[in-house]
Amino acid sequence: MGSKVSTLLQPEEVEEIQAETGFTPNQIYRLYSRFTRLDKNGNGYLCKEDFFRIPELAINPLSERIVYAFFSDQGLDDDQINFRQFTRVLARFLPVNAKDGNRNKLNNKTDKLKFAFRMYDLDGDNKISRDELINILHMMVGANISEDQLGSIADRTLVEADCNEDGSICFDEFVKIMSKVDVEQKMSLKFLD
């Protein structure tokens, strides 16, 4: 299998992806192998449905939002991404190495926050409304909390985050409230080690 993967992915492509994403060549080949296993059509593209075949993603209560953010992160109007686009999104989740700082231009706090913001912004209007907060909370906790409790959590979040008091959270307000969170740590996955 390794020889098939290495023959389909050219060394110059690996070098370009490495420079752009910070993945090592070995990680790129392993990602390519996973990508091709997910690509059931064999056409070099993944569609949204392909992502739901990833067991860890399929059981995540926010799986639809994660997949949406995956595709909107590329600014795509269609429902397919190629391997290069796939690696660009995953590069956002590389842990930041203390020795060399950001290993790639895609792995920085601002871009991680933009990715997270898109997960909450359900209607894509660049604001997170009370209803969107409630919907996301409902996805996360299911029926374990009453609608009144969800509403109360959303209201408290808006009181804390909505600085201009317009009834929603814009990206700048989201950044302020997330300044208390170690986003680089929370949005980093150790994979392919």
The CATH number assigned to the domain holding 11 equals: 1.10.238.10
Least confident range of 16-25, 37-46, 92-101, 183-192: 92-101
Listed residues 29, 61, 91: the one ending a domain: 91
Task: Encode 116-148: b = buried (16+ Cβ within 10 Å), e = exposed.
Answer: bbbbbbbeeeebbbbebbbbbbebeeeeeeeee
Domain-embedded: residue 8: yes
Listed residues 61, 91, 121: the one ending a domain: 91
Would you state the pLDDT for residue 103?
Answer: 53
Task: At 8, list the tokens.
Answer: 């389909």
* pLDDT digits 0-9 by tens, 163-179: 999 999 999 999 999 98
In a shared domain, residues 77 and 144:
no
Domain-embedded: residue 144: yes
Instruction: State the residue range of the domain holding 34.
Output: 2-91
In a shared domain, residues 17 and 83:
yes
Would you state the pLDDT for residue 59?
Answer: 84
Domain-embedded: residue 136: yes
* pLDDT digits 0-9 by tens, 2-36: 444 444 789 999 999 999 888 899 999 999 999 99
Identify whether the C-beta of residue 136 lies closer than 8 Å to the C-beta of residue 62.
Answer: yes
